[in-house]
Amino acid sequence: MILRPALLPALGVFAVAARHQNFAHAAQELHLTASAVSHHVRRLEELLGTVLFQRHARGVRLTAEGRQLADAAAAALSDLNAVAGNLHPQADIVPLRVTTIRSLSYCWLIPRLPRFTRQHPRMRIELQTSTELVRFDESGPELGIRYGLGQWPGMTAHHLMDDELCPVASPALAGVSALRDAAQIAALPLLSDMSPQGWRDWFRAAGVRGLDLPSLHTFSDSTDAMRAAVYGIGAVLARKHIAQPYLQRYELVRLPGPALKARYAYYVVHAEHRPLSPTAQAFMDWLKREALDERTPLPTLPDELLGLPPADPTRD
């Protein structure tokens, strides 16, 4: 059965009556009489062919069918309220659209974002992840974080941080504990994320020549390659900023050998023709400060979730 638009007022009255489970209280909220509320509910019951409220001397109570409809009506009204709020956003809420690559967002940016949102509670971040340099027009993102040489047509690029490559693997991967030098890493299963610099570049920097590298497990995304290494599929040549949270949690360990400076670096970019808003400028300044701290923030859990006794609020 399809509800006709003319019956939507009755459905709205029913939703309020269901929330109060009292026609008089619903009438007071809606500025109607109790008999008008009752009339709307009766009309809805007749259309649906079911009883929504049990009437008794002390008032009304939802039936099982009434409860189902009340839950659906409440959810629908909540969705409508959310959309209506977005049509007329609060004047003091400031949006900022940012685009970045998935690996940096997952491993570096998102763990740090709580610091920014605490400092700027009225700002709302809309984060998009993409490997493409999207259009920075009026309807697109205002800022981007990209990995490259620092030159993109029509864009202004601000250096954020350099990077370096080092081999990492799960401590549970067979053979890891016995590694003593860089050449032995070639005996492990190796993973590739299709970066511009790969294992051959790293082995050359490590002074290891003449290796016949095995076929690699290849992933198009650095995040997937890191997760594959965590689960013991093989060793990966990881970018420092992407690997850091895994190393801190001991999901991955650094293998023997040097760190190879990456040809690419991270840059904050924006359109040349579009002046930065104060919000975007604040976010870029914050990113540059965060880039000075190599440690990745870890989630903060309440003491009771850590199995520790709660802190005594009376103790200094």
Question: How far apart (Å, rounded) are the C-alpha atoms in residues 279 and 116?
Answer: 12
Q: Quote the pLDDT of residue 47.
A: 85
**Contact at 8 Å (CB) between 100 and 144?**
yes
**Rg, Å, the chain Cα set:** 29
Q: What is the mean pLDDT of residues 24-41?
A: 91
Q: Single out the residue of 225, 278, 217 nearest to residue 103, CA to CA.
A: 225
Question: How far apart (Å, rounded) are the C-alpha atoms in residues 202 and 256?
Answer: 12
Angle, to 10 degrees, between the axis of helix 278-290 and the axis of helix 110-119? Answer: 130
Q: Quote the pLDDT of residue 58.
A: 81
Q: Which two tokens stand for residue 248?
A: 């801190």
* 289: three-class secondary structure by DSSP: helix
Q: Name the pLDDT band for 145 (thresholds 50, 70, 90).
A: very high
Q: Quote the pLDDT of residue 172.
A: 95
Question: How far apart (Å, rounded) are the C-alpha atoms in residues 148 and 211?
Answer: 29
Q: What is the mean pLDDT of residues 142-158?
A: 92
* 128: three-class secondary structure by DSSP: strand
Question: How far apart (Å, rounded) are the C-alpha atoms in residues 177 and 169?
Answer: 10
Q: How many residues are present in the chain?
A: 316
Q: Which two tokens stand for residue 315?
A: 């103790």
Q: Quote the pLDDT of residue 215.
A: 81
- CA distances in angstroms from 78 to 11, 20, 27, 236, listed in the order given: 14, 16, 20, 47
Reported as a single tens digit per residue, the pLDDT across 270-302 is: 988 888 889 999 999 999 999 998 888 877 766
**Contact at 8 Å (CB) between 97 and 128?**
yes
Q: Quote the pLDDT of residue 264.
A: 94
Phi/psi-derived region of residue 250, left when phi > 0, alpha when psi is between -120 and 50, beta in every other case: left
Over 90: is that where the pLDDT of 266 sits?
Answer: yes
Over 80: is that where the pLDDT of 137 sits?
Answer: no
User: Which of 64-73, 238-247, 278-287, 291-300 has the weakest average pLDDT?
Assistant: 291-300
Which residue's entry shows tokens 């974002």? 113
Q: Quote the pLDDT of residue 316.
A: 42
**Contact at 8 Å (CB) between 241 and 108?**
yes
